Structure 1
Amino acid sequence: MPLPQKSRSKKPLLYGSAVALAAALLGYASYRATAPGPPPASVGESARPDAGEYSEAAKLARREPGDPLALGRTDALVVLVEYGDFQCGYCGKFARDTEPDLVDAYVADGTLRIEWRNFPIFGEESEAAARAAWAAGRQKRFWEFHRAAYAEGAQEKGFGPERLTALAKEAGVKDLNRFARDLDSAAAAEAVGRDQAEAYGLGASSTPSFLVNGRPLAGAQPDATFTSAIEEAAEVARTGSAAPTESVTPVANPAG
């Protein structure tokens, strides 16, 4: 989903030349992902990644032990970072249809780590849902909250205060009083703000947006795009160069 115009005034942060390159590509990918016609299959299809191409952007992977907003080993070959909003329909589609397969295929064997970044761009309820997800994570229930919030039909019910409490209950959050305190805390606002600043600094203009070892992807991509990007990134991590592949092919956009 595209970024509302009022949020574009946030000043981007720059992390270095390679991150600036990723920012430009992610901004372009975000535009293409929301332009009329089929989304592109990937970003930078004409140039396969090498060991240094996205090395600086890849450093945005935090790999923090015990991070409740992450799945997988801290030393995984590949880190997929997702910048998402709980009111984003395409984020929900990815969470329901694609992410479970990636977990089964790549997280389980130690190849992939998935790190979530809260990137609320659709107003107050998005902000509240992001803080609530973080608060659920404080009790080790982030991914259960994530699953409940992205369940089929869940987004249509909104993310008001009572609904967030109901989602926390559904997620198995035990101490709801602590959940409420954490949700409204300065620490929650700071954590969400940190994630937002990172996304804005990368030029993200839609959700979901992704980095795969620093390589940008945006929008509702086909499952094969993620599979190809992860396998290429894993090959680069192992050998320093990507093996030739024909699985990522540009998709023509009839709207130009």
Structure 2
Amino acid sequence: MADSRRASVGRDVIVIGGLVVIAVALILVLVMNAKADVGPADAPAPAASALEPSAGDPSAEAPAPAAGGDTSALAVERRVADDPLALGDPAAPVVMVMFADYRCPFCAKFSRDTEPVLVDRFVDAGILRIEWRDLPIFGDQSMQAARAGRAAAAQGKFWEFNRAVFAAAPDRGHGDLTDDALLGFAREAGVADLERFAAQMRSSEFDAAIDADLAQGTGIGVPSTPAFVLNGVPMLGAQPTEVFVAAVNEAAAAA
């Protein structure tokens, strides 16, 4: 009888021991699977765009690249002599490249409020050069307006046309830039040969140059307009004029 009890207890111990081993094995499998799902704690985060807005605010300033970081992707200035889409000396110590759309209300705000101050204080003094880049992102009318700007430039009236369009732009929403409206702005800007202007605006003559601007902006991650690169430092949106003035002064001091 005693021998029978001992044999029964031995069998129970073996069974319990086997169950413990299985339980431990299952726990180890679960732990290993959980670690595989989470991944290493020090895995690098995905790279951010060079021009990423803050908190989705279209007028928020983008952070500057870290000190000593690689800013080669933001070396977008061209400094081409006699460029009709640029203002200022090609050898100016500070270059501000502006990516813009004629139907963008924030671009219009910059044109009306800030650009005249920068021209008066810095461009005319040989400190700043402003280079325009077409970034037509608001539909077919944006692309047609970009062509119209180039057609005005072909007759030496780019900036006059540019300012005429932005002076009439709404504070909110996107302006209705029909062909007739663009012809009216060309007339207001003093474009001499309106027939030539209309023919070039309605052709694909300037599409390759516009697409090159678009590719440059896309290549550095421009998320919206207006976007600026000031001596390699990105800024987004129609910031207050004093922000641009301070940025130009800082860039000039560092140049």
Instruction: Please indicate the TM-score interval, normalised by the length of the shorter structure.
Output: 0.7 to 0.9
Tell me, in whole angstroms, the C-alpha distance in 1 between the residues paired with 2:161 and 2:78: 21
The aligned residue for residue 230 of structure 1 is: 248
State whether residues 54 and 60 of structure 2, in contact with CA within 8 Å, keep that contact through their aligned partners in structure 1.
no
Q: 1:232 to 1:42 in 2, by over 3 A?
A: farther
Tell me whether 1:125 sits opposite 2:119 in the alignment. no
- Report which structure shows greater RCO (CA 8 Å, sep ≥6): 1
Tell me the CA shift for residue 152 of structure 1. Answer: 4.0
Kindly provide the CA deviation profile for residues 135-155 of structure 1, in whole angstroms up to 9, marking residues without a partner as x.
100101000001100014468
- SS of 2:53's partner is helix
Tell me whether 1:89 sits opposite 2:105 in the alignment. yes
Gaps of 5+ in 1: 1-20, 238-256
Tell me, in whole angstroms, the C-alpha distance in 1 between the residues paired with 2:178 and 2:95: 32
1:161-200 equivalent positions in 2, closer than 5 A: 161-200=179-218
Amino acid at match of 2:200: D
The aligned residue for residue 114 of structure 1 is: 130
Kindly provide the CA deviation profile for residues 161-191 of structure 1, in whole angstroms up to 9, marking residues without a partner as x.
1111111101100011211222133331111
From 41, 44, 57, the counterpart of 2:74: 57
Q: 1:201 to 1:150 in 2, by over 3 A?
A: same
Tell me, in whole angstroms, the C-alpha distance in 1 between the residues paired with 2:243 and 2:188: 32
The aligned residue for residue 160 of structure 1 is: 178
From 64, 81, 85, the counterpart of 1:44: 64
Q: 1:84 to 1:153 in 2, by over 3 A?
A: closer
Amino acid at match of 1:178: R
- SS of 1:186's partner is coil
Kindly provide the CA deviation profile for residues 86-133 of structure 1, in whole angstroms up to 9, marking residues without a partner as x.
110000000000010000010011000000001010101111111100
Tell me, in whole angstroms, the C-alpha distance in 2 between the residues paired with 1:31 and 1:188: 35
Amino acid at match of 1:167: F
- After TM superposition, the score normalised by the length of structure 2 is 0.75
The aligned residue for residue 53 of structure 2 is: 29
Aligned CA-pair RMSD? 2.2
Q: 1:31 to 1:75 in 2, by over 3 A?
A: farther
The aligned residue for residue 11 of structure 2 is: none
Task: Work out the number of aligned pairs and report it.
Answer: 207
State whether residues 30 and 218 of structure 1, in contact with CA within 8 Å, keep that contact through their aligned partners in structure 2.
no
Amino acid at match of 1:25: A
**Largest Rg, 1 or 2:** 2
Percent identity (aligned):
45
State whether residues 33 and 218 of structure 1, in contact with CA within 8 Å, keep that contact through their aligned partners in structure 2.
no
Tell me the CA shift for residue 219 of structure 1. Answer: 1.0
Kindly provide the CA deviation profile for residues 44-83 of structure 1, in whole angstroms up to 9, marking residues without a partner as x.
39x5x56x7535522x211111111100001000110000
Tell me, in whole angstroms, the C-alpha distance in 1 between the residues paired with 2:197 and 2:213: 20
Tell me, in whole angstroms, the C-alpha distance in 2 between the residues paired with 1:154 and 1:40: 20
Tell me whether 1:73 sits opposite 2:89 in the alignment. yes
Tell me, in whole angstroms, the C-alpha distance in 1 between the residues paired with 2:199 and 2:223: 31
Tell me, in whole angstroms, the C-alpha distance in 2 between the residues paired with 1:70 and 1:110: 13
